[in-house]
Homo-oligomer: A and B are copies of this chain.
Amino acid sequence: MSKPLILVSNDDGITSKGIRVLVEAMQIIGEVVVVAPDSPQSGMGHAITIGDTLKLEKSVIFEDVEAFECSGTPADCVKIAKHYVLKDRTPDLVVSGINHGSNTSISVLYSGTMSAAIEAALEGLPAIGFSLCDYASDADFSHAVPYIIKLAKQTLQRGLPKGIALNVNFPPIQNEEIKGIKVCKQANAKWQEEFDERHDPYGRRYFWMAGNFVNFDKGTDNDQWAVNNNYISVVPCQYDLTSKSAMEIISKEWEW
């Protein structure tokens, strides 16, 4: 039986430690092709490059792996991988990450890691975004690897429901052991922004956006609770944003 074809991307860029760990894990179970951004793309959400050109260069950064670096966003990388690099080869799995930093709760909207996975899902491909709740560039991903392999293998074996990408977050490594995996919902939380106002050497005003994470969710059935309590969170994400309940309310109660 031929090995499954696995496309790997990320948002921290092709030189990050997280993607290297993910590529090495995927090499254990399949044939790997990498198409990843040539520079960090954190916070790019589901941005795509329209009205501007894209560059794509072969990369020799990984041993024995077909790899490309792209000037675009994570969503661009998956698009150019699917429709140009791989063309007639359909990946059996698309994985993104391992992100340096959490993508729990509302961060899924801003996340380039998850936009790559969601872009793959809307192409009809089984897809997983992996993130570690540790922003350090030399973060320790070792505890995540066995779980990543297990999740990737199960996804290859069972597939995913149509239009679904998994958002997987790992707690940072600690003295205590990982307690297990929680399939759960996106926590109800948000970033509360503060704008740090400064002036450049020419007296012109500029800002740094600095966010504090605020968790409104008191439940135990969400991804933020899971990683805070040393569980791995798995949230199945959909790209259909329609709220059926709001549709019903608005259809019935509003004047049309």
Chain A residues near B (Cβ < 8 Å):
40, 42-51, 53-56, 73, 75-76, 79-80, 82-84, 106, 108-110, 115, 118, 122-123, 154, 158, 160-161, 163-164, 166-167, 180-181, 183-186, 188, 190, 192-195, 197-198, 204-209, 234-247, 249-251, 253-256
Contact = CB atoms under 8 A, between A and B. Distances in A.
B195 A83 contact: yes
| Chain A interface helix/strand/loop/mixed | mixed
Contact of A253 (B42, B158, B244): B158
Copies in the complex: 2
Nearest to A255: B154
Given A45-B115, A118-B109, A207 B243 contact: no
23 contacts: A46-B109, A47-B47, A53-B207, A54-B195, A54-B207, A54-B209, A56-B205, A76-B209, A80-B195, A106-B122, A109-B122, A109-B241, A154-B254, A158-B254, A161-B243, A161-B245, A164-B246, A184-B247, A185-B244, A185-B247, A186-B242, A236-B247, A238-B241
